[in-house]
Amino acid sequence: MSERLVNKVIWITGASGGIGEALARELAAAGARLILSARRHSELQRVRDSLNNASSHLLLPLDITDSQAVNSAVQSIQQQVGGLDWLINNAGISQRALIVDTQADTDRRLFEVDYFAQIHLTKQALPLLLADGGGKVVFISSVAGLVGTQYRGSYSAAKAALHLWANSLRAELYEQGLSVATVFPGFVKTNVSHNALTGDGSPLNQLDEAQANAMSAEQFAEKTVKALLNNKNYIVVGGLKERLGALMSRLSPELLYKIVRKAKVR
């Protein structure tokens, strides 16, 4: 099935580490041509050097919250590559602060990165994705966007908003051939908690215990790519607790709320 990815042009944001890097490895191994974006050029270079057919992949350093830079990036893809088959919106930032301790600027920063920047980039990329009869847009949301837990109030809200915007995008552009998938990771062993914002906007700078014992980014990438190739659009990837939480959010929200109140998530 992975043969379907040979020479597919796939743009991955947040590709300098963690889930983004693991997805890049998985997709490159299957023969895809990648466009790798993140803010840190040196880390993007490191990732590209580790991939199959390294010279075939394009580095496009980018801060997704810079609208003008995003517009220029899309123009660069059109000029240098000519088209785009998949867009994987993976860049993002998490939160580790109670609602009452989170400053308004931190709330806004979370929404700017995890929602507004994502939808702006997607809108700009749509002409390239639709040019050949339809492409695929993938949003990396979170189980937190389905469940909502302590210490992640605005992060959960932004990821939930992204999920519902993706649903609308799927409905509106289905007839034009666009495929839209949303992935809901549970705990994955990455540095996401190190970079998570505390109430005043500073990074947490420590690894959560749940993440330290979670599935690897490589396991996540393998499961995710397999589901995408099977044309799944609602993809929950995580341990048993996260998968049950996602299921209960749809079948029994009231019971889920009771469980979440008693859960230890820090």
Active-site residue flag, 155: yes
Please state, in angstroms and rounded to a whole number, the distance separating the CA atoms of residues 204 and 31.
Answer: 37
Tokens of 97: 């602060």
Nearest to 165 by CA among 146, 182, 147, 184: 182
Phi, psi of 35 (to 5 degrees): -115, 120
Burial class (CB in 10 A: 0-12, 13-18, 19+), 112: middle
Q: Which residue has the tokens 């992935």?
A: 183
Task: Report the SS3 class of residue 182.
Answer: strand
Q: Which of 115, 151, 155, 174 is catalytic?
A: 155
What do you get for the CA distance between the two ends of the chain, in Å? 39
Q: Which two tokens stand for residue 242?
A: 């996260």
C-alpha to C-alpha distance for 236 and 141, rounded to whole angstroms:
10
CA distance 56 to 51: 10
Catalytic residue positions, numbered:
155
